[in-house]
Structure 1
Amino acid sequence: MIRLLLILLFSISALSQADDMRPASLTITASDASQFDVLFKMPIRNGSRQQLEAQFDDATSMPAPKSRRIINNAYIENFSLERKAGLEGMQITIAGLKGASGDVLLRIIDNQQHTITAVLNTENPDYTVPVIKEMTKADTVVTYIILGVEHILVGLDHLLFVACLVYISGSRNKLLLTITGFTVAHSVTLILAATDTLVIPIPPVEAVIALSIVFLAWEIAKNNKNSLSLKYPILVSSSFGLLHGFGFASVLAEIGLPQNEKLLALLSFNIGVEIGQVLFVAALFAVFYLLSKLMKFITMETLRYPASYTCGIVATFWMFERLASF
C-alpha cells in the first residue's frame, strides 16, 4: 500500500506539471515571391513561456519590428520577412529548442498555396526549405497521420480520459465498443469544427474536457455497477467524445490544412489520433501485465483507487487552471 501511495503521489506531481503539452507553431505564408508573413505562437505554461526565437539565414531580412501579444494563454509574434531568392533554400532555426522538451510545428505556404509541414524538436531544431512542390495525396496522408499520432500521445487530458474508459468498460469486448463510441463521436465534431460548420469557444471546452475526466474518476472510485457510466459506458464515452472532438479541432486549426486536400488531411489526422489511442491502450495493458508479473498484489482492483484518485486530482487541477484562464 505504501508503494501504491508513492506511485500515486509521483504521478500527481508529474502530471499536474505536464498538462499543457501544446506544441509551439511557426507558420510562414508567402504574400508574393519575396515577401512573407510569419506567425509564431508559443503556449504559456504555468504563467511563463518557453524562451524560443525563430531565426533565419543572412539572405532573409525583417523590414519591420515584430508585433507581440498574448491571446488564449499563448504568446504570439507577428512579423514580416523579405527574401529576394524566395522560400527555397531558406534556413530556419528555432533558438532555445536544443535541450528542451516540446515540439515546434512548422508550416510553410508559398504563393501558389503549396504547403510544407514539418516538426522541429530538440534533435532537429533546424530546417532548410526544399524546392516546394504540391504535396501528393500520399504525402498528405502520411504527414497528417503522423501529426495525429503525435498529438494524441502528448495530449495528456485525452490520454487520461481513454485510461478511465478502460475501467468503466468492464471487459475487453466492451472496451472496444466504448473506445469506438468515443472515436465516432469526436470524429463527428472534429470534422464539423475543422470545416467551420460548427464553431464554439475552445477555453470552456477544454475546462469541460477536464471535468469529464473528474466525472469518470469519481465513477471509477465509487464502482457502482448501477451507475450511468458503468452501466452504459458506450453512451458516456460517446457523449464526452463530442467535446473532445472540439479539442482535437483546436490543435488541427493551429497546424492548418492544405488548401487542395482539406478533407483528406482531416481524415488522415483523425486516423492518426485513433492509431495513437490504440497504441496507448496497448501500452497500458503491457505495463499492467509486466507489473502484475513482478508484483503479485497488483491487479485491476488494487489499482482502482490509485488510478481514479490520480486521474481525478490531476484533472481537477487542470479544470480550475483552465477556468482561471477565461
Structure 2
Amino acid sequence: MNAVLRLVLALFAMLAAIEARADELRPGYMELTQETAAEWKLVWKAPILGGLATRARPLLPDFCELKLDTPRLSGPAVVATGKVTCSRPLEGATVGLDGMEPGSTDALLRVAPLGRPIQTERLAPGSSSFTVNAVPDRWQVARTYFVIGVEHIVAGFDHLLFVVALVLLLQRGWSVVAAATAFTLAHSITLAGATLGLFGLPQAPVEATIALSIVFLAVEIVKARPGEPRLSERVPWVLAFLFGLLHGFGFAGALREIGLPETDVPMALLTFNLGVEAGQLLIIAVTAAVLAALERFAPKARRPAVMASTYLIGAVASFWFIERIWA
C-alpha cells in the first residue's frame, strides 16, 4: 500500500467519523424567549466538542434568577432548558456566556422580547456577552448573519466538498467563475423563497440529495478525459445552477434553525447570503491556488493529487448519503 493510498484512507476515516448532516450549525446556541413581563424561557445547546458543554454556562444579570432543568444529551450536543425570572426588563442589561475560554467553540445568542424585535449576537472568547438593546442595531444584525453565513459554508463539510469538487472538475478560470455565478444565483433564489415561506422541501431528502450531488461531481471528475469534454464540462453553469437550487434549500434549513430578526428580515437574509458567497469564494481561491502551486512546482503530482482527492471526496459523500437515507 503506497503512501498516497494510506493518506486517503486515513483522511476518509477521519471525515467519516464526523457526523456531518447538511447545514447543521456547529456553534453553541443560547436563546432567551420572554413569556410574561417577568419570566423568560432559556434554551442552552452546547456541542460536546469545543469546550462549551464542560466550561461555559449562561450569564444573566443579578436581578434575574435561573432555574435550570436537568441537561440531556441530544446528538452531538448537551441541551438544557430553564426558567428565568427577572425583577425588571432586560433592556440595557448584559447577557451571554460565562466560562468561554480561548479555543472554545463560538455560540449564537438569540434574545426574543415579548412583542418586540428579536436580537442576535455572535459570542466568542473575548466577546462572550451582549448588552440587550431597546431596538436592535441593524448593523449588528448584518454583522452577525454575515459571519454565520461565512462559517456555515466553510464549516459545513458537504457544501465545502461540493465547491472543491466543482473546481477540480473544471480547473479553468472562466468556467469556474461561470459555474460559481450560476450556483450563487440558484441557491439565492431557493434560500430566499424557502426562508420567506414561499416554497420548500422536506429537509431529510434535501440532505441526502446534497450528498448525492457531491458523488455525481466526483464521478464526473474520474470519467473526464482530455479532448473529450463531458456535458458537465461543456455547460457547467447548467449543472451548477440545478445543484445550486438544491443547496439553497439546505441553506434555508440552517437559517430556519437560527431564526430571523422580525424587523430586519431582508438585512439578515441578504447578509447571510453574502456571507455564504464570501465563504464560497474563499474555498474556490484556496483550491485554485493549491492546483496552481502543484502545476508550477510538481506538475507530475498534479493529476495523482486530483484523483486521490476525488476518490476521497466521493467516498465520504457516499458515506453521508447512506447515513442520511437510513437516518
Name the CA shift for 1:51/1:243 in 2 (closer, same or farther; >3 Å).
farther
Offset of residue 313 of structure 1: 0.6
Decide which of 228, 234, 237 is 2:237's aligned counterpart: 234
1:142 maps to 2:143: yes
Q: Does 1:12 pair with 2:12?
A: yes
Q: Report what 2:166 is aligned to.
A: 165
CA contact (8 A) 1:25 1:254 kept: no
Q: Which residue of 2 aligns with 1:288?
A: 291
Aligned residue number for residue 248 of structure 2: 245
Alignment of 1:255-294 (within 5 A): 255-294=258-297
Farther-moved stretch of structure 1 (31-40 vs 144-153) = 31-40
Matching residue of 2:93: 89
- CA distance 1:34–1:102, change in 2 (3 Å): same
- Check the 8 A contact 1:89/1:131 in 2, yes or no: yes
**In the alignment, residue 149 of structure 2 is paired with which amino acid?**
G
Bigger drift between 314-323 and 81-90 goes to 81-90
CA spacing shift, 1:100–1:163, aligned 2, 3 Å? same
Is the contact between residue 140 and residue 265 of structure 1 (CA under 8 Å) also seen in structure 2?
Answer: yes
Q: 1:170·1:230 contact (CA, 8 Å) conserved in 2?
A: no
Q: How does 1:71-90 map to 2 (within 5 A)?
A: 76-87=79-90, 88-90=92-94
1:160, CA displacement in angstroms?
A: 0.4
For the residues of structure 1 that align with 2:169 and 2:177, how far apart are their CA atoms?
Answer: 12
Q: Distance in 1 between matches of 2:104 and 2:15?
A: 15
CA distance in 2, matches of 1:125, 1:13: 35
- Match of 2:301, SS state, is coil
- 2:108 aligns to what? 105
1:158-183 per-position Cα deviation (integer Å, ceiling 9, x unaligned): 01000111133352101111011111
Number of residues of Structure 1 aligned to a counterpart in Structure 2: 317
TM-score, normalised to structure 2, is 0.84
Q: Is the alpha carbon distance of 1:168 and 1:290 closer, same or farther for their aligned partners in structure 2, counting shifts above 3 Å?
A: closer
State the SS of the aligned residue for 1:107.
strand
Counterpart contact for 2:72–2:79, Cα < 8 Å: yes
1:39 to 38, 43, 47: 43
Q: Deviations over 1:23-79 (max 9, x none)?
A: 33221122344311223345689xxx9667643445432357468685x98765443
For the 8 Å contact 1:43–1:74, the answer to whether it is kept is yes
Aligned partners of 1:3, 1:289: CA distance in 2, in Å? 23
Give the distance between the partners of 2:57 and 2:201, measured in 1 at CA: 31
The gaps in structure 2 that reach 5 residues or longer are none
Per-residue Cα deviation, 1:96-123 (whole angstroms, up to 9, x for no partner): x6476643211112235233322234x3
Give the % identical residues: 34
CA RMSD, 1 decimal: 3.0
Q: State the secondary structure of the residue aligned to 1:303.
A: helix
Alignment-derived partner of residue 221 in structure 2: 220
Aligned to 1:152: 153
Any conservation in 2 of the 1:19–1:156 contact (CA below 8 Å)? no
Contact 2:15 2:316 in 1 (8 A): yes
Instruction: State how far apart, in whole Å, the 1-side matches of 2:88 and 2:309 are.
Output: 56
Structure 1 residue 324 displacement after superposition: 2.5
| TM-score, length of structure 1 as denominator length | 0.84
The offset of 1:249, in angstroms, is: 0.8
Counterpart amino acid of residue 235 in structure 1: V
Structure 2 match to 1:184: 185
Change (3 A) 1:64 1:158: closer
- 2:322 corresponds to which residue? 320
Partner SS state of residue 62, structure 1: strand
Offset, 1:189? 0.8
